[in-house]
Amino acid sequence: MGELLSVVFPVGPGVPRAGRALDDLLAQTYGDLEIISVLNGCPEEVREDFLGRRESRLRVLDLGGEGRLLDALEWAVNESRGRWLGRMDSDDRCAPERFERQVSMLEDGEVDVVSCGISLCGALGDGMQRYVDWVNRLDTPEKVARERFVESPVVQPTVVMAKSLFQRAGGYLRNGHAEDYDLWLRLLGRGVRFGKVPELLYHWHDRKERLTRSDPRFGQKRMLALKARALSELPRVRERGVVLAGAGPIGRVLGRELKRNGISLHGYFEVNPKRIGRECQGAPIAGPDGLGKRWRKAVLLGAVGVGDGRDRVRTLAAGEGYQEGLDFWSCC
């Protein structure tokens, strides 16, 4: 039997079948486990089901009728007693060996945070499936660190880490940003290593009520502001400033937010001839032939969000000697 794992399990509105997720947790092969379920605006039949369960590994906390996710997460973490801290969402499912595999990887000591592979159920559009495919490919600490500014490089309910690490990083902050992505960026900025059990042990259900679709904290402008804040904390970015590949909508917002964080914005590279020779955020826009020659000491940020633009910029940057994760970052 290993050390105690505390599973933070919020149960919010719009999830009538949360009992299935709870059954998956109770069926885990990892023996030393406590489930801290916080009811926050869940359907009445779910509330009655959870409160009526008689299971020594389950503790049910009741926030009442209003859905308040951050309050639920904070309460559950404060009540947790385990060395390890895990997550599960009430509208998802997971394999019985999930936590056993993840804790085993943590105990090996090579990584500090462990997620697992995801299968997407009931996708509402191609975008979410592309995101899941991308996340599943981030299967080493180096890939997670390198791709951190593209999107959130891990899916929150798949994660297990030491509770002490979560607390040292400040936990989930109420700062107007997506609480999970904000946490990952803070941890990665400290050099924390993220590992992954590659098997598809978590079954993520897409639905229109997901916060990623409905909460303004997950909107593009707010996410770009969060990326800019984290980028501005990198020593090389602070010292050398940046140049952006892409002067479209994403590049304009990212450039503005970087300037707000005190970062020198030297210029933009752009393929659209209508933009070349003009200015954006007070910085000149150059053509693609200048990439690697003009503003070479600045950190290059890829901000081309159309089609395969990310891969094109990555290829050009590598050809000009930029090192991804040092003086070049993909940001969309």
Q: How far apart are CA 92 and CA 107, in angstroms?
A: 26
| DSSP calls for 193-238 | -EEEEEEEEEEEEP-TT-HHHH-GGGSHHHHHHHHHHHHHTSHHHH
Instruction: Say what the pLDDT of residue 214 is.
Output: 59
Residues 40 and 174 placed together within one structural domain of the fold: yes
Domain count, the chain: 2
CA torsion angle 197 202 206 209 (round to 10): -100
Q: If we measure between CA atoms, which residue out of 166, 189, 36, 170 comes closest to residue 112?
A: 166
Residues 100 and 191 placed together within one structural domain of the fold: yes
Distances (CA, A) of 13 to 72, 131, 185, 291, 296: 12, 25, 28, 49, 51
Domain boundary among 183, 218, 253: 218
Residues 226 and 288 placed together within one structural domain of the fold: yes
Instruction: Say what the pLDDT of residue 201 is.
Output: 98
Residues 59 and 170 placed together within one structural domain of the fold: yes
Instruction: Say what the pLDDT of residue 126 is.
Output: 86
Instruction: Say what the pLDDT of residue 206 is.
Output: 83
What string of pLDDT tens digits covers the 332 residues of the chain? 579 999 999 999 878 889 999 999 999 999 999 999 999 988 889 989 999 998 999 999 998 777 788 999 999 999 999 999 999 999 999 999 999 999 999 999 999 999 999 999 887 778 899 999 999 999 999 999 999 999 999 999 999 999 999 999 999 999 889 999 999 999 999 999 999 999 999 999 887 666 565 566 667 899 999 999 999 999 999 999 999 999 999 999 999 999 999 999 999 999 999 999 999 999 999 999 999 999 999 999 999 976 788 999 999 999 999 999 999 999 99
Q: How far apart are CA 118 and CA 84, in angstroms?
A: 21
Instruction: Say what the pLDDT of residue 66 is.
Output: 74
Residues 255 and 123 placed together within one structural domain of the fold: no
Give residue 10's domain range.
5-218
Instruction: Say what the pLDDT of residue 17 is.
Output: 86
Instruction: Say what the pLDDT of residue 217 is.
Output: 65
Residues 206 and 326 placed together within one structural domain of the fold: no
Query: 75 near 63, Cβ under 8 Å?
Result: yes
Residues 207 and 261 placed together within one structural domain of the fold: no
Q: b/e string for 67-82 if b means 16 or more Cβ within 10 A?
A: bbbeebbbbbbeebeb
Q: Is 241 left (phi over 0), alpha (psi -120 to 50) or beta?
A: left
**pTM: predicted TM-score of the whole model, two decimal places:** 0.93
Q: How far apart are CA 52 and CA 128, in angstroms?
A: 36
Residues 127 and 244 placed together within one structural domain of the fold: no
Domain boundary among 186, 218, 250: 218
Q: If we measure between CA atoms, which residue out of 143, 184, 142, 190 comes closest to residue 161?
A: 184
Residues 261 and 200 placed together within one structural domain of the fold: no
Instruction: Say what the pLDDT of residue 169 is.
Output: 96
Instruction: Say what the pLDDT of residue 244 is.
Output: 98
Residues 90 and 231 placed together within one structural domain of the fold: no
| DSSP calls for 40-97 | SS--HHHHHHHHH---TTEEEEE--SS--HHHHHHHHHHH---SEEEE--TT-EE-TT
Q: How far apart are CA 137 and CA 63, in angstroms?
A: 37
Q: What is the CATH number of the domain that holds 95?
A: 3.90.550.10
Domain boundary among 191, 218, 245: 218
Residues 95 and 46 placed together within one structural domain of the fold: yes
Q: What is the CATH number of the domain that holds 312?
A: 3.40.50.720
Residues 33 and 82 placed together within one structural domain of the fold: yes
Distances (CA, A) of 133 to 139, 165, 200, 228, 303: 11, 28, 11, 25, 21
Q: How far apart are CA 261 and CA 5, in angstroms?
A: 38
Query: 297 near 314, Cβ under 8 Å?
Result: no
